[in-house]
Amino acid sequence: MILTTPLLERLARAGEVHVVATPANAAVLANHPAVASVIVYDKRRTDAGLLGLIRVAARLRATGATTAYMAQGSWRTAALARVAGVSSVGFDTSAGRWLYSRRVAYRKDWHHAQRLWALATDPRDASVVPERLRPSLYPGASDQAQVTALLHTAGVGDGEPLIALAPGSVWATKRWPSYDALARDLAGRWPDARIAVLGAAADAPLAAAIRIAVQERGGAPIIDATGQLSLLGSAALLARCVVLATNDSAPLHLASAMNTPTVALFGPTVPAMGFGPLADRHVVLGRDELTCRPCSAHGGEACPLGHWTCMRDVTASDVGAAVATMFDPPREAGPLR
């Protein structure tokens, strides 16, 4: 959803844009100036089954939309547009492609934000050069208030630099295992900086390991934001940070949207798949010489070959040095945006 925002901004220049979104993704688009409305499609609960699809299709039809750009390529989404009587444009590799009014070539060599942006491009135009590829998000007053309260409770002073770490991922093999060692290194390099740990509530044990590592080094207490912020709240916190070190996961894209300098760690996946960082300043670390990468589209619960070298061999000192390129000289902490 985050990577769809350049497409939404482009479409908004021609008219109103209405977005069909899952309950989990809908809140990401709150306050976005390119979005006229968000139609929540709860396909697993209140809108489950054929009757739910028909009900959501009626809401889509009522917007007066004439074309659906299929950022999500399932059969269900394609059927939704067809039932709503809306022509559809989507990728020629999508499961629902046989129901599309027009199919667009899926370019594996492009970033996914550019692939999505190209859905609104005349197919006769072979050279697609987006004028703005970096995504955008707009945290609201409540999101910023979450961050203000969190930082106040943690005793963060005005202008105190923050380093963000995002150690989690839904996929186990995407989780770099040395964030605690990195935090220990960072606490020694910049004792005046504070480390903020972002993630879901399930990432709390990872934050706890980072807290212990920083305490052992004698660093300032970390700011544990795991499970404490909404997605837009996390974006607002990242806007306050000097740099983010992250796995190939959602915080990477939040940082791109807020243009926060990013150090991205890729193991079982690679940026060439189309989901690398888009912040103006970023560094990607990974074991490029390994012929087994990428091993899957998303990573997995265990390394298929049993060694997990792609992540184990990325050292904390290498990541710390990459963070230093973003942090030195330090950027002054700015206001929340």
- Residues sharing a CB contact under 8 Å with residue 167, sequence separation 6 or more, in sequence order: 175, 176, 179, 197, 199, 203, 206, 207, 210, 247
pLDDT digits (tens, 9 = 90+) for 98-122: 999 999 999 999 999 999 999 998 6
Average pLDDT, the chain: 93
First to last CA, the chain: 20
The first and second tokens of residue 34, run together, are 């390119």
Residue with token string 């150690």: 167
Q: Which amino acid is at 291?
A: T
* Number of other CB atoms surrounding residue 186 within 10 Å: 27
**pLDDT computed for residue 336 by the predictor:** 37
pLDDT digits (tens, 9 = 90+) for 143-168: 999 999 999 999 998 888 999 999 99
- Domain 2-120 -> CATH class: alpha beta
Residue 144 — left, alpha, or beta (φ > 0 → left; ψ -120 to 50 → alpha)?
A: alpha
**Domain range annotation of the chain:** 2-120, 142-327
Does 329 or 99 have the greater pLDDT score?
A: 99
**pLDDT computed for residue 101 by the predictor:** 96
CA distance 172 to 203: 12
pLDDT digits (tens, 9 = 90+) for 176-185: 999 999 999 9
Residue 159 — left, alpha, or beta (φ > 0 → left; ψ -120 to 50 → alpha)?
A: left
CA distance 264 to 248: 7
pLDDT digits (tens, 9 = 90+) for 58-79: 999 999 999 999 999 999 999 9
pTM: 0.93
Share of the chain above pLDDT 90, in %: 88
Average pLDDT over residues 35-50: 96
Which of 137, 186, 160, 232 shows the shortest CA–CA distance to 326?
186
**pLDDT computed for residue 65 by the predictor:** 95
CA distance 6 to 287: 30
User: Which fold, 142-327?
Assistant: Rossmann fold (3.40.50)
Q: Decide whether 2-120 matches 142-327 in CATH topology.
A: yes
**pLDDT computed for residue 128 by the predictor:** 57
